[in-house]
Amino acid sequence: MSYEQMFIFGLLGVLLGMLVWGRVRYDLVAFGALIVAVLGGAVAVEDAFSGFGHEATAIVALVLVISRAMINAGAVELIAHYVVSASRSLPAHITIMSVTGAALSAIINNVAAIVILMSLDIEAAKKAGRSPSLSLMPLSYATIFGGMITLIGTPSNIVIAQFRQDALGKPYGMFDFAPVGLVCAAVGIAFVALVGWRLIPQRGERARPSMTESDLFVAEARVPEKSPSVGKTPSDLYELGDEHDVTLLGLVRNGKRLPGFAAGVEMRKGDFLVLEGNPKSIEAFIGAAKLALSKQEVKEGLTDKSVSLMEVIVPEGSRAVGRNVHEMRLRYRRGVSLLGISRRGQRFQERVEKLPIRQGDVLLLFGPIDLLSDAAEWLGTLPIADRRHTVIQRRKALLAIGIFVAAIALAVAGIVPLSIALAAVVAIYAILSIVTPSDIYGSVEWPIIVLLAALIPIGNAFEEAGGTEIITHAIMSRTEGMPVWLILAIVMAVTMVLSDFINAIATALIAAPIGVSVAQSLGVSPDPFLMGVAVAGTCGLLTPIGHKNNAIIMGPGGYQFSDYWRLGLPLELLIIAVGVPTILFFWPL
C-alpha cells in the first residue's frame, strides 16, 4: 500500500470515527478533514473548494429553499388538513400519516416533511389520549422511505445521481428511483402500520409541555366580506377552535364588545372575533376560518407582503407602558399591527387595541418582516428569542405547487437541467414574495452544504488513490463463487451499517464508488448496485444518529437510544429482502 493510500485510508478512518463519536459538529469535522487532505497532498489546492460549486451541492440547497416556500404558501398545511384526525384507530392513523409523510418527502426535503408533520402527529396523539412515541417513529421512518422515491427526496440520491454522471456519463433522472423506492416504501409502511408499531416501547408524554397561561394571547380577527364565517355564530366555530387549540372569547361589533361570549350571535362583515391561544394556533385558526388580521389586510390580502408575527416583552421604561396601540397609532407610524396581548393568562373585556399596556406584558406584533424589528425598537420592547412566527400565505398554495410541478416537468422532459429548473422556481418564489431573502438564506442548512462540499473532493481523492479498488478486492475475495444477487445484498448490508452511524451523504460518497467497482469486477451493469446503495444508504434506521429525522423525534417521542433497533432492525432486513429482487427486476444485470 502506497503512502497516498495509507494517508487517505487513515484520514477517512479518523473522519468516520469523529462522525460516529459526534462530539464535534459534522460540518467542522468534514471541513477539517478537507484541510488536512490538502495539506497532506491528497487533494490539490485548486480542487479544495470544488465541492462548493458542484451541481449536487446547489441542488440540495435549492431543494431546502423550495421546502421552506411550500410551508410559507400553506401547500403542506392544505394537505395535512385532510389527513389528520384524532378519531382514527392507531393503525389507521399511522397508515395515513405515513403515506402522507412519504408523499411529502418525495417532493420536498424529508427533514422538512418530518418537521411539519411531527407537530400535527403530536397534536393528534394529545387529543386521542395516547403517547406520541407510538406514532412518531413510524412517521420518521415513513419520511425516510419517501425520500427514496425521487431524485430530490433526499440529498444522498442527488449525490448518487451526480456520481453516475461522473462515472457513466449520464445522471439518474427525477423518477429513475421511483420504481424501487415506491415498492420499498410501500412494504416498509405496511409493515410498520400492521405489525411494527407494536414493537415500539410506549414512553411517557414528553413531546412538549402543555400550554401554560403565559403562552396564551388574547387576539382579535376581523370577519371579511367573503368569509364563510359570515352568517355563522361563534359557537359554530367552536369545533374548529378545538382543532387548533383556540378558545373563542367573544365578538366585537361597531367597536364594542358584545356581552358574554356572544355564542349565539350571527357574525356580520366587519365584526371581530376575540380569540385566545398561542401565536401558531391563532394564525392557523384565522387561516382555516378565512378571517383576516386587520382592515388593511382585508383590503390588500395577506399575500401582498412578506409578513410575520413577532413576540416582544414590555420592559420598564417602554414607550408602550400605560398607553394603548390606538393612542400610539402604531400601524400608521410604524406599519405594523398589534395582533394580541399576553398578560399571565388574564382575559380582557376591553378591545385589544384599546387595552392599556403594562410592564411585563408580551405583545404579538404583526406586519412586514423588515418593519417588525424597527417597530419593536421604537416601542422600547425586547424581542423574545426564537419567537418569530411565519404567517402562511394560503392564497398562494396552489400557485406554488403549480410552479414547482411545471419546473419538474421541464426537467423530466429534458428541456432544462434540474438544477436550473429548481433555481428558476426559487427565483419566481422570491419575485412573488413566497420566500423572502431571509427565508432563502435561512432555510439552507449550511452545515449540510459544508459537509457535502468538503466530502466531495475527499471522495474523489479516495477514488484516485485506489481506495475503492482495495475495498472492492476485499469484498470480491470474500464473496468469490457467490451469486450476484447475494453480493448485491452484502453491499447493501455494508452500506446500511455505515448509514446507521454516519450521515447519508457521507455514506453515499463512500459506498457509490465501491458499488460501481464491484459491478465492474463482476462484469455486470453498475445500476443495480448504485440503486442498492441509494436504498441502503437512506435506511439509517437502527440509531437516532443514522438519519436527522430520527434525531428530531427523539426528544418529542421520549425515546431512548436503544429503542430504535427494535423496529429498525426488522425493517432493514425487510428492505434488503424486498429491495434486492425489486432492484434486479427494474434494473437487470
Where are the alpha helices (H) located in 237-310, listed in sequence order? Answer: 238-243, 279-288, 295-300
Question: Which residues of 343-500 form beta strands (DSSP E)?
Answer: 362-368, 382-390
322 lies in a domain? yes
Give the confidence band of 86 by pLDDT, cuts at 50, 70, 90. Answer: low
Residue 278 belongs to domain with CATH number: 3.30.70.1450
230 lies in a domain? yes
Residue 212 clears pLDDT 60, i.e. is over it = no
338 lies in a domain? yes
Residue 40 clears pLDDT 80, i.e. is over it = yes
d(CA 570, CA 566): 7
pLDDT on residue 243: 78
267 lies in a domain? yes
More confident residue, 568 or 500: 568
Strand partners, 543: none
The number of CA neighbours under 13 Å toward the Cβ of 349 is 3
* 101-135: pLDDT as tens digits: 898 888 877 776 776 677 678 777 877 778 888 88
Residue 405 clears pLDDT 50, i.e. is over it = yes
507 lies in a domain? no
Residue 30: which of 46, 47, 16 has the closest Cα?
A: 16
pLDDT on residue 76: 65
DSSP state for residue 169 in the 8-state scheme: S
343 lies in a domain? yes
383 lies in a domain? yes
Q: Model's pTM, two decimal places?
A: 0.64
Strand partners, 221: 273
Residue 1 clears pLDDT 80, i.e. is over it = no
Cβ burial, residue 199 (10 Å; 0-12/13-18/19+):
middle
276 lies in a domain? yes
Residue 54 clears pLDDT 90, i.e. is over it = no
Q: Give the domain extent around 239.
A: 221-390
DSSP state for residue 110 in the 8-state scheme: H
- Following CA atoms 500, 501, 506, 508 in sequence, which dihedral angle do they give, to the nearest 10 degrees? -20
* 195-208: pLDDT as tens digits: 888 888 776 554 34
Q: Which three cell numbers stand for residue 72?
A: 410559507
Q: Which region among 86-100, 299-313, 335-349, 569-583 has the lowest average model confidence (pLDDT)?
A: 299-313
Segment 300-325 mean pLDDT: 73
* 186-195: pLDDT as tens digits: 999 999 988 8
Q: What is the mean pLDDT of the chain?
A: 82
Cα angle for residues 438, 442, 445 (degrees, 5° grid)? 160
Say how many domains are in the chain: 1
More confident residue, 12 or 235: 235
d(CA 1, CA 522): 24
C-beta of residue 114 within 8 angstroms of C-beta of residue 139: yes
Give the confidence band of 138 by pLDDT, cuts at 50, 70, 90. Answer: very high
pLDDT on residue 343: 83
Residue 180 clears pLDDT 90, i.e. is over it = yes
